[in-house]
A and B are shown apart, each in its own frame.
Chain A
Amino acid sequence: KNEVEQSPQNLTAQEGEFITINCSYSVGISALHWLQQHPGGGIVSLFMLSSGKKKHGRLIATINIQEKHSSLHITASHPRDSAVYICAVSKASYGKLTFGQGTILTVHP
């Protein structure tokens, strides 16, 4: 069983829709990361969370440590949000990341 599971694997939305991507993990963590990967392949860090909620522009990330669950929300989605969104966890303070399989998001105009 994967230590980090994301759902859904694929998500298609119309421009303007509210989007939620979920991440569940099965191990104790020191932090959870949400990352974005564009078709060119580069990875950009969106959020690092160890508790609560963070917001950056139209993106909101939440984490529930007791339930071992995190969500990434995108409000007013736009075609430029189309990318692969990846959840990853660091289990120790010296932190290698363990990755989920990613969620492919496509936003249509």
Chain B
Amino acid sequence: EPEVTQTPSHQVTQMGQEVILRCVPISNHLYFYWYRQILGQKVEFLVSFYNNEISEKSEIFDDQFSVERPDGSNFTLKIRSTKLEDSAMYFCASGTTGVEAFFGQGTRLTVV
């Protein structure tokens, strides 16, 4: 069964460093999303991406964040200069329509 794949599963980074979280969505999907979940809190929307551009972003998704679909298969989330409060589980999701959502297993980001 096709699945959304995220790498790495766990990343530890120093505060101020750039990180890139990678996602390979299901191949025929058109809608792509990043969500995050701070430990003990609910999942929060970061950004949605459709037709090679951002369709919506939350107030969390400030200038430190960016997304790219560099080669038609990968979907990346970059955090330019990480802060301690960026420590969270980051989930990629994709769908053929804008209603369904298939989630990856997540990347646990720890900023030290």
Please list the residues of chain A having a beta carbon within 8 angstroms of any beta carbon in chain B.
30-31, 33, 35, 40-45, 48, 50, 86, 88, 90, 92-102
State the majority secondary structure of interface residues on B.
Answer: strand
The reply to whether B45 and A43 contact each other, CB–CB distance below 8 Å, is: no
The reply to whether B98 and A41 contact each other, CB–CB distance below 8 Å, is: no
Stretch of B18-26, B78-86, B102-110 on the interface side = B102-110
Distance between Cα atoms of A42 and B35 in the complex (Å): 12
Contact (A90, B48) CB under 8 Å given A96-B33, A102-B42? no
Please list the residues of chain B having a beta carbon within 8 angstroms of any beta carbon in chain A.
31, 33, 35, 37, 41-45, 48, 50, 55-56, 89, 91, 93, 95, 97-106, 108
List residues of chain B with CB within 8 A of the CB of A45: 100-103
The reply to whether B42 and A100 contact each other, CB–CB distance below 8 Å, is: yes
In the complex formed, the residue of B with least CB distance to A93 is B98
Distance between Cα atoms of A96 and B95 in the complex (Å): 11
Question: Which of A40, A88, A92 interacts with B43 by CB under 8 Å?
Answer: A88
CB distance from B61 to the nearest CB of A (A): 11
The reply to whether B103 and A42 contact each other, CB–CB distance below 8 Å, is: yes
Question: Which of B50, B103, B108 interacts with A94 by CB under 8 Å?
Answer: B50
The reply to whether B99 and A31 contact each other, CB–CB distance below 8 Å, is: yes
The reply to whether A90 and B103 contact each other, CB–CB distance below 8 Å, is: no
Distance between Cα atoms of A92 and B31 in the complex (Å): 13
